[in-house]
Structure 1
Amino acid sequence: MSTVTPETKREGRDFSESHLREAQILRFLEGTLSENEAENVQAHLDSCRECFDLFSTAVKLSLNPPTAEEASEFEKLYRPAPERRLEKLFAVPPAGRVQPNSLAGLPKPFLPKAPKIPSYWRPILAAAAAVLLGIFAGMPQYDKWRSNNLAEQAFVELSSDIHFDSAEQPRPAGSFKYDEFKIVRNQERVSQSQPALQKLQSALAIKNDNPRAHQYLGTYYLLVEQDLQKAEEHYNRANTLAPGDASILNDLGVLAWHKLQYDDALDKFSAALQQSPQFAEAQYNLATLYQKQGKLTQAENVWQKYLEIDSTSTWASVARDQLTALRGQ
């Protein structure tokens, strides 16, 4: 969150302490902020989608001057210009009527009027705005947004294409479904997931240090192409870029499980739950692994915790069945 100083605080909507003021965004576009203030605003735009959208809208609107009707509405909304307010202040009131706070009869102070922009300047200003938009398109926060957007779109497609037909498999992070009756051939799965793969590759082409794109690409190689080496490469890269992220730790545990490294998988699931105790996939995987290793008491406790997080999905039905079976032993 950038600090609002007396120099940067202008009139404008104050969204809250967690958002930028409109005036700060305008001064950022004008380049009139100090170097430290500009860095704070840019850092905030990198992390705040709402302020980034407002920033984007401000740039886009600068390309389209208001119509006559819009200009009339603006005139009603905003206060008169200073020279008009002075004219009203020095106006002589009607006979027999006293106007409070009037300066009628006193000489008016000199007030230079703002020059009017000739019409032939408008194409030049529009071209300048287009150049500004081009500069904006190359800004790091815009590239970050484009990369994240592509990665999330790809992962939604990937999650909808892949269904688990075994409840004993470890679950990567994401809204993957369980359906024991839906079996898809591997070649068909690869074909269905090609659009998601292309989006993830494009996301990394835009911003190669995007941890989510690397994580989702690791999941693609793990579940679709079953290439453990490539999956490990992208998962490790994601973990380097976002150390301590619970979903990445969970996925590293899933990878270790597929490599039959069960102790490592147990450590990764436990580490994920230390970062986020309500992380459903890590709870599910930990309970399944405990049960696989014969640690039934621990498995029963974790299954109970899982059902406190998820009680309605098809995975919850599996957890409920497992818990009932353990308590019946």
Structure 2
Amino acid sequence: MADVAAMAGVSAQTVSRVANNRENVDAATREKVLSAMQNLGYRPNTAARALVTGRFGALGVVSFDVGAHGNARTLAAIADAAREADFSVNFMGVRAQTEAAVRQAFQHLMLQSVDGIVLVESQMLDTPSLRLPPAMPVVVADGDTGHRYPHVDFDQAHGAQSVVAHLLALGHRTVWHVAGPRDSFAARRRAESWQRTLSDAGAPVPGVLHGDWTAESGYRAGRKLAERPEATAVFAANDQMALGLMLALHEAGRAVPGDVSVAGFDDVLEAAYFQPPLTTVRQDFDVVGRHCVTLLLDQIEGRAQGPRRMAVEPALVVRASTGPPPPGRSA
């Protein structure tokens, strides 16, 4: 720090203020200090800075499936929001869907000196026995741990209800459902809302088919549904399964939406370019990621008072894959 101060012609205190991203340094001085840091290869001692600021300047993220569309988008948003708040992000992927694996991931991140952790749950982990380190600020995204921790989630029930109501309003007698994995928090919420919306409307509730979020599993479900002429409307729990479903229907000679209306969930970037373009539910993962960082920083900086929940409302996007049922098949 003394070498940087000498090269920049400023005091060590000014170098410290720049290193800690304080605002009380004018732009020209900050530029001189940053230039000296770069020339000298200066890197702040995070342990020493933590003693002064009480923070390490790093956030941890634990996720079960970084390849999933929603998780990847959420992680990118968390990284962007963290960077804007002058925090780095340490990521830990977890394959086993167990409490022991989650606790191990938390311990690993704590050894890396993070200030707080976001747990991104693509699978359900809401058992009462789950106990995370009490001294570590935690936020749960896309999941629920009995409301014991601040969490951010989409209003899954509202999103599914809007899809089913849309299809019923088009005149379909009922709506079939290709659900996500049985142990998925989001899939369960969507399936429950699908069933409840049909029941509230007095519509028959068909047997649910389960997929695993992949287009291949949607294709398998589509082959089964193609054999059922009474299936005129299908709600797939995500867009990838809807894509596979539509291919199976096409191969069976059933037109979308002429014979079968298909709707998905997520509004992936490609959804508008499916053939036909897909009716789906748009989720703003950027908002979820940023809310996660906000809640985490509130705890780190002592602004949080007890568990908090932020719900992000999804929006129905109607495209060409849904329409009225074939003549003679309406409710």
TM-score, reference length from structure 1: 0.29
Larger Rg: 1
Larger RCO of the pair (alpha carbons < 8 Å, separation 6+): 2
Q: Which structure has more helix as a fraction of its residues?
A: 1
TM-score, reference length from structure 2: 0.29
